[in-house]
Structures are given as structure tokens and as C-alpha cells.
Structure 1
């Protein structure tokens, strides 16, 4: 097989290698076998955690920081990124409402909110960005994005006098006043990256599916689900949207229902995270004339084929290109791999080893697995 161009486009190997490190390792392995080939490194992500670092690597930019608060109002330093021209910003919501940042105090699913996410966004609006790429995975909150709106200057009127914007208070929201909203909030382009298709409420909704992961009891889930349903009525009354559609729209259940506030009130777009990242990094153009595509992630399984990085790569690779997956673990059979349109999949595990040993040696193991995979095509 003649190999003239190789594109290395992996996700991060969580806990062991960033997407940029994985791309560099894949490229190093490819160059061992095909030293004359053009090798392109394109770190990738699916819109969840790790997307900030992936885009910064592609843009050749460093992360910037701003002082905000976490999901329960404690001060923290959040990271964000901007393109070289300052027009486009990448905001990982988990920097302001991430579950790991509140794990030290125990779950507080009714209290947690998105106010810190809004503080990051307000800083970006102050800086004059024209587009915000909002990646909303890993959240601790289920507040329908209400805290974010409040941080941007919206006034939330309640039927009670309690404090905070958490999901436990959604049932008491009476109205939303946008008169004091940041002047740029409705002029900037908002694009929200989601990696789930869950609706806002119901059996597959934000509270029922993701609430328990954030520490919600059965009673909490019922409270949060009812609160999100009520907030949909309030938002619909303010925006003219249909409340039933807001409750049922695929993707609105992501990150505790954050799209609910942003789509009807700020004209935000919701799209699959892998598509957003693909557009941002120019994936289609990079793959157009590739002979070999090396992709990978921590675990290759059935979820990998449903909107994740491997799925984005396999569906965009040109028909004549070989597409090889290098993963920490491969949970698909050889028949599954072929049926998915992939050429082959290889695990980086060289033999019996502990998880800690594999994590520590991941970049070297990725490089070695890539070299072995490439050797099979060197004929």
C-alpha cells in the first residue's frame, strides 16, 4: 500500500495522555515506518472535557485564566482559550461548574449551579469575542442554565427569598428579566457542543439520567425534573418558544439542561461536539487526501461509534484511506471493527501489566502500537 500522507487524529487517553500527546506519539510511530510520508498531527475531542486543550494545541495557543466560582460558589481559577485573532473563544463549562471541583464537600445536586460558567462567558464578552464554543460535559449542576443567565446580567424573579440559582429552586422561578443582560450576549454567536441526545425532562431527561451521577437521590431527581419542566414553561412564556418542544428536544438534557436557557433566549445553536470540533480544526480538509488515518482513545467500544472521536474520523475519512484505531483497550470484536468501516484496531497493552503501569507508559506504548500497525501496511 502506497502511503504518502498520514493524519494522526486521536482523542485524549484520559488520565495518561492528552490528545496532543497522543497525536505526537502516533506520528512518531508512523514516522518510524514511513519516514518520507507527510505526517499531520491533529489533536481532537468530542466536545467534552479535553476539548479546550485539543483546540489550543491545534491553534498553537496557550490557555488563559480568569477568577470565577465553582458550582457551589467558591472561588476558583478557570481556564479558557481564544483563537489567534481573538474572535473565537473556547469555553469548557466544567471549568465553572465541573463535578470534580466540588467532590471534596460531597454532592449538592440541588444547590449546584452554572453561575461560574456565566462569569467566564461574561469575561469573554467583555473581551469582544464574536463566537463562543461552549463545551458542556462534566457538570455538577442541573439548573437549566439559569445561573449562567444570572451571571450575564439577567434578573431572576422567584416566589421565595432563598439564595442561589441551583436546580432545587427552579420550581420557584416566576419570571426572567433580560433588560440588564450583557449588551453583547445576544450579538455573539453561541455554539453548544453536546455528546448526548437526551431531552430535558422525563425518563431520559437531565435529572433522571444524569442526576444520580451528581449525587441526586430519587427525591432529588423528582424535584429537579419538575423544576426543569417548570422552567421550560417560564422560558417559553418569555421567548415565544413551545414549552413541550423545549422539554422534548434532543440534546437539551445535556449538562443539567444548560441549553434550555441559551437556545431560546440567546439564539444558541446545539450541535454534536465532534462536529463542532471538526469544523473548528478543519478536519475534513486535513483528511481529504490521506492514505492512512490513525485515531484513538482510551477505550474503543460501542459508544465510540456513536458521535465520539473515532466515529467522527471514520465517517469523514476518504474511501481509499486505511483507518486504524490505537486504544488503551479494545472492546469490539474484529468483526465489529470491520463492520464499522475501520481497517483494524490495536490495544497499546503489550502484555500483563497493571493499570498504573499502562497509564505511566501510555505515550511510549501508543507510539509502539502505531509503529506496529504501520508495519502491516508497509508493503
Structure 2
């Protein structure tokens, strides 16, 4: 038996379980689970550190509002299908220190899903060829009107695969075809843009600093590109996928037509339907891994430095989880002495794949054959129970030193 002379330190750093449990609530459920398990084993209550994370998608705005002390605001915008709504954003009114420019700047945080997230259009069939990111651009305009000098755009969880053309059009850009006519909105616009007309963009849009927090590292085109990699989850049929691939090829041609610009294969350019493809060359935007940015903002590395165990997780733990998502960020920040365990709605990796990725284990919250609706309804209780199970395994063979 290994004597337990002090309480274990456990860091709880999950992403949200999309559609059922925000990251903060998942962390609370994990904390309740490990504390209950410790009590049953007669162990001292573990020291639990709640560090809910996000990866540039759902929940990133809330995580950064808290970490950066930004002020939450909202403005009118349109969803991916053009219906009116209000979207939230954040701004550091008093300014924030920026290590890159070496001074204090007014920083804005914008989560694209606040305007065009998939949940807001769930009442209608997905429309991958006509959905637009124009509403995200409207929120960006609101941030610029509020004086933002630096904008962090978090692009995960968005519905429209339009290559960011709607966003830029809200800022004033045009995408003319060979005849000089503007292309219609959406991700299936026919014809090839002869060029991307950016002179109409106001100086305030191009003069500030733009960063894109991406939740994946996929390029714009290819087998891992925006159309092939994410078309189905945006509602694209195989036929739609062919149209989308052609439209992205046209967009890539327009981008390449600009002198010195070739961003098609840049990691992350295919995120959110290819949104970074036009923002990088024409706004000078920098793509950053969303999970890394949030991990840095909440001080994850420092929290993990002396931890015994960290529990992380998300809705579906699969191969995409290892391509810039929260779980990967946790593994990268955890010291070798700290065991990393994932808890997820479903686990689609083998034990060998999990361990090769640097984790000790991964567990599903499903107690048996259940429906997705049942998992969603009971998510908090199931996460709590799974965390208790993990503590039971981790604490097995440990005795309290008298």
C-alpha cells in the first residue's frame, strides 16, 4: 500500500460537452465526483482546482471574459440564415497589456458562434450552400465602433462554410466575379471570383491586430480541408460537398491572385468553413490554437505543476481531439508526474491510441446502452460518477498515513 500523507491535488480542466454541459459545469461535476470517492475511501478531501477550458469554439468567450476581466456586451446581428438576433462579445475597456506591441491596447473578444452558431439554426434543415458569416462581421463592426484595437476572433462551432466571405463583406469587402458582379452570399456561390476587392475596408479594420483562435489545424483544401473534413457536420451532402469544394477552389484562386499571397495550405486555414483563408491575407490575421490561448489565459501550466491528477474531456473523444483541441493542450501542459485522464460522452480511440497521445486512460460517461438524449439529460450526474470511478482507480492501494 502507498501511504497517503497529504490530500491529492486534482486539476479539473474539461472542455464543454457540446449541447449538454458547459465546461464550468463539467468541472464542478468532476470535483463533486472525486471528493465523494475520496470520502468513501477514507482519504482526506482532495485539493481540487477548477480550470474549465475551451478551444476557440463554444465557451471560449466566457472563459476569456473571466480570465481577462473583459466587459461583456451585445449588439444586433444576424444568424447564419439571415434572421435577426443579438450576439455577445467582450472588450477590455481600460485596456490590456499586450506583450507583442509592448503597450496597452483595447482588446476585443468575439466568438463567431454567438452570431452564426449551429444551435441558432437547429430549428431548420442545415443550409451549407447559402449560410453566411455576415453576422460575425456585424459583431466585429460593433467591436470596432467600441474602440477595439485588437480583436480575437474565436471561430469554432460556426454553421456557415462560406470561407469567411460574409464576415469580410460586412466589413466592406467585395468579391466580384469575372463580370464584375458581386457573388451571392453563402458557401456555394457559382463562378470564380476574379479578385477580392479590399480597398473598401475601413482603415480601422485593417490597421488593428487580428488573431483567430482556431479549434482545428486543418488546411483550406484537400482531404482534411474545409469541405471534406467538416462539410457533413455543416449539413452538406456528397453533392453539396462537391459544390463546396469547387467554391473553395475558386476562393483559393482569388486569394492567390493577390501578389505574394498563398495561404491555402496554412494549418488552420480550413477551420470554420475556411474563414481564416481570407482573414489572414487581407486583415493580416494570425491563426493561434484556441486551446493553447485559453490554457495560457487561465494559467493551466502553473496549476498542473504540482498536480497528482488532471481530469479533462469533451463530448466526443476521437482523432480530432488530438488536432489542436483541449485534451491536447492539457497533455502538453502536464508534467510527466501528473496522470492525465479524459472523460467524454463517447470515446472512439483505442487504449493504445489514448496512451500514445500521452494520456493514462479515457472513459465514457455512458453507463450502458443509452440514447444521446439520455446522455444529454443526465450529463452532469454521469460526469460526476465517471470522475468518482477514476478516483477509485487512481486511489486504489493508497492508505491514509496515521
The 5 Å alignment of 1:77-96 reads 77-82=86-91, 85=94, 87-96=106-115
Partner-residue secondary structure (3-state), 1:138 = coil
Write out per-residue CA displacement over residues 142-196 of structure 1, whole angstroms, 9 at most, x where no aligned residue.
3322221121123444426567433333635344343332332223322212233
Q: Secondary structure at the match of 1:346?
A: strand
Aligned equivalent of 1:64: 73
CA separation of 1:83 and 1:44: change in aligned 2, threshold 3 A: farther
**1:359 alignment partner in structure 2:** 376
C-alpha contact 1:241 1:264 (8 A) present in aligned 2: no
8 Å Cα contact 2:216-2:325 kept in structure 1: no
Structure 1 partner of 2:12? 8
For residues 175-190 of structure 1, the aligned pairs below 5 Å read 175-190=195-210
Instruction: Output the aligned Cα RMSD.
Output: 3.0
**Pairing 1:182-261 to 2, within 5 Å after superposition:** 182-216=202-236, 220-238=240-258, 240-242=259-261, 245-261=262-278
TM-score norm. by structure 1 comes to 0.85
Give the counterpart of 2:133 among 109, 114, 122. 114
Cross-structure match for 1:147: 166
Match of 2:62 in 1: 53
Query: Aligned pair in 2 of structure 1 residues 167, 349: CA closer, same or farther (>3 Å)?
Result: closer
Instruction: Give how far 1:42 is off.
Output: 0.8
Structure 2 gaps of 5+ residues are 96-105
- 93-102 vs 217-226, greater mean Cα deviation: 217-226
More helix as a share of residues: 1
Is 1:152–1:181's contact at 8 Å kept on the other side of the alignment?
Answer: yes
Distance 1:222 1:45 in 2: 32
Say whether the 8 Å CA contact 1:70–1:98 is kept in structure 2: yes
Q: Secondary structure at the match of 2:203?
A: coil
Cα distance in 1 for partners of 2:212, 2:292 equals 11
Give the 3 Å change call, closer, same or farther, for CA 42–134 of structure 1 in structure 2: same
Question: Which segment drifts farther, 153-162 or 123-132?
Answer: 153-162
Unaligned runs of 5+ in 1: none
- Per mean C-alpha deviation after superposition, the further-off stretch among 320-329 and 40-49 is 320-329
Task: Map Cα deviations across residues 327-375 of structure 1 (whole Å, 9 max, x no partner).
Answer: 3334444454444332333333445655444433322332233234324
Distance 1:71 1:137 in 2: 14
Deviations 1:199-235 (A, max 9, x none): 3234443234433443445554444333333333333
TM-score, normalised via structure 2 length: 0.81
Cα separation, partners in 2 of 1:364 and 1:107, compared to 1, 3 Å = closer
Number of aligned pairs? 376
